[in-house]
Amino acid sequence: MSAVSIPCGPLGYEPVEVASNPDLRKFHEKYSNNNLSSQVPGQQHPPRGQKNGSAIRKPSLLLKQQRLRELQEWEYQAAIAPRRTANPGPVGLLGFGLSTILLNLHNTGRFPLSTVIVAMGIALGGGAQVIAGLLEWVRGNTFAHVAFTSYGTFWLSLVLVWLLPNTAARSSSIVEPASEYFVGVYLVLWGIFSFFMLMCTIRMNVAIFIVFLTVTLLFLMLGFANMTGNQTALRVTGYEGVICGSTALYLAFAEILNEVWDRTILPVIPMTQLLDWLGVRRQKPEEVTGLNSSVPILKNDGNT
């Protein structure tokens, strides 16, 4: 990636990285030294017999040069202005939260497994989360991309687990409907996946940490309930799932409200702030002897 000064001449901008910004690169090519002279009109020689031709054209040429510099300034500012994109995170969180609450209301034994849950699982729990994950990939957010696309495809696969036994797969001699025990294994694997995603949230904020903590517990508890066939455990898990979905909704509404109002309406509490409250501070590298100074050390100062 090369640094260039845009544009050349009296404006004197600082060097700017242009390789990653196509608009800025086009601007640089347009107003480079090789192209700048060809864009300034009024360079023709005066006609013969007109001795004061240059004096007559000089004010006009200066005015055109000034207007060109103003145009360069405007295009430069437009090229370096950051492009604002919408945050797809709340859509994915809403899809996850609403679908999780509905499913776990069924797990509590209060509602049957109806088309409402299946439709939400396909449209919002599956489709909306996958779309949000793809948009997060465009934004370069690896964690959100993995989380939304994974949980979105989980919802789609769960709906298929419910529906396939009622299709031609029922009469198939190769594919058999899943047993309750094997569904439990399926859910435990998702619990393991959620646990490792939980480890990533330690560097984020308390709200998203609680979301993934409850998600991990939900999958493990659902897996245990299905593997053992314990209906009481399944009902208890249903209430935990309602809490899990509610935390996802809280985080979604927090992101929306805080961005719209440009202030903290619903706090999410950064982890660094929580560590300060707990009395855990990050020790300065120079205070540690015999260790690599690039490795941060967490130290409890004894206030907790």
Asked whether residue 82 is domain-assigned, the answer is no
Within a domain: residue 158? yes
C-alpha closest to that of 13 among 39, 41, 32, 40 = 32
CA 91-94-96 angle, 5° bins: 110
Quick check: is 245 in a domain?
Answer: yes
For the stretch 69-116, pLDDT in tens is: 877 777 777 766 676 788 999 999 999 999 999 999 999 999 999 999
Mean pLDDT of the chain: 80
CA distances from 120 to 76, 103, 113, 158, 160 (A): 47, 9, 12, 12, 13
Domain count, the chain: 1
Q: What is the pLDDT of residue 214?
A: 98
Q: Which domain holds residue 268?
A: 88-162+177-278
- Give residue 29's pLDDT band: very low, low, confident or very high (50, 70, 90): low
The pLDDT assigned to 27 comes to 63
pTM higher than 0.75, yes or no? Answer: no
The verdict on residue 138 lying in a domain is yes
- Tens digits of per-residue pLDDT, 244-295? 999 999 999 999 999 999 999 999 999 988 888 888 755 555 444 443 444 4
Residue 77 counted as domain residue: no
- Note the pLDDT of residue 128: 96
Q: What is the pLDDT of residue 67?
A: 77
Is residue 104 included in any domain, yes or no?
Answer: yes
SS (H, E, C) 245-262: HHHHHHHHHHHHHHHHHC
The pLDDT value recorded for residue 26 is: 67
Residues 6+ away with beta carbon under 8 Å from 130: 148, 149, 152, 153, 156
In a domain, 46, yes or no: no
Q: What is the pLDDT of residue 224?
A: 96
Distances, alpha carbon 70 to alpha carbons 27, 39, 279, in Å? 14, 14, 54
pLDDT given for residue 253 in this prediction: 97
Q: Distance between CA 254 and CA 257 in Å, rounded?
A: 5
Q: How far apart are CA 128 and CA 105, in angstroms?
A: 21
| Count of C-beta atoms within a 10 Å radius of residue 27 | 21
Residue 189 lies in a domain: yes
For the cut 70, the answer to whether the pLDDT of residue 227 exceeds it is yes
